[in-house]
Amino acid sequence: MKIFLIRVGADQSTGGGSWNAPVDAATGRFVYVPIPERKPVRSELERPYAALAPYLASLGTTLPEHLARDRMHLDPDFEHSTYGDTGSKGAQLARDLKPGDRLLFYSGLKDIRSCKLIYGLIGTILVRRLDRAVTWSPEIFDRNAHSRRELAADAPDVIAVGDPSGSGRLTRCVPIGEYRNRAYRLTPAILESWGPLSCQDGYLQRSAVIPTILEPRRFHAWWDRQDTELLHVNNTSS
């Protein structure tokens, strides 16, 4: 088994929407806010950011104006246990991802009290299969952001489809990172529990290559101790 550690969600980069989603560090409650959608989307399949308003309100937060009128690239889609990608990362998944592998998603979230940035796990997908997005039929287009797009026949986009029994959104984020050595990285305690990653010193900032956890058994021993609950929804108000 391989475990891929994938950064998702809105962040301070231009492509990330120039905004961080909220988290209550005291309870772990968070709102999953995807990056903006910048590609053409099939008719009636757009996902507006405005749909997040009640979830953000539950944490006393509102969308910035520039996102409130924009569209989401809702990926991963925890409701449907899917994750899509393209470009170099899509090619990496097409080459390396196998049934039984795990995708582990984390985001940079802003604490609603201290405004401190918290890097935390928000969900996971236990992979059942990997599809080319262009092979999907219209009745399932709405299950992932990449199949919602208007794709050319030769588009390289791939979509990982998960086993719902081992996939979902976490009810509470699990902090894993901190700022050290001039970058956000896994904390020393997490590195000790998980073992090494394929990236240098647990580097967590965006990169062209998806890092992998090199000792999956150590990670799963840690994961089992977290007693995590997985939900098949993208957000919850409680």
Asked if residue 177 is part of any domain, the answer here is: yes
The verdict on residue 152 lying in a domain is yes
- 236 in any annotated domain: no
- The answer to whether the beta carbons of residues 4 and 209 sit under 8 Å apart is no
Cα(106)–Cα(119) distance, integer angstroms: 7
The answer on pLDDT for 237 being more than 90 is: no
Asked whether the beta carbons of 113 and 52 are under 8 A apart, the reply is no
59 inside domain: yes
pLDDT digits (tens, 9 = 90+) for 27-51: 999 999 999 999 999 999 999 999 9
Handedness of CA 149, 107, 235, 50 (dihedral sign): negative
Q: Could you tell me the residue range of the domain that residue 38 belongs to?
A: 3-231
What is the pTM for the complete model shown?
0.97
Q: What is the pLDDT of residue 129?
A: 98
Q: Is residue 202 a part of any domain in this protein?
A: yes
Element housing 221 (H / E): helix 216-226
Quote the tokens at residue 206: 């965006």
Rounded Cα distance, 189 and 230, in Å = 24
Averaged confidence pLDDT in the chain: 96
pLDDT tens by residue, 65-81: 999 999 999 999 999 99
237 inside domain: no
How many domains are there within the chain?
A: 1
173 in a structural domain: yes
pLDDT at 96: 98
Q: Give me the residues paired with residue 169 across strands.
A: 123, 231
Mean pLDDT over residues 201-212, rounded?
91
84 belongs to a structural domain:
yes
Contacts of 214 (CB under 8 A, 6+ apart): 195, 196, 197, 198
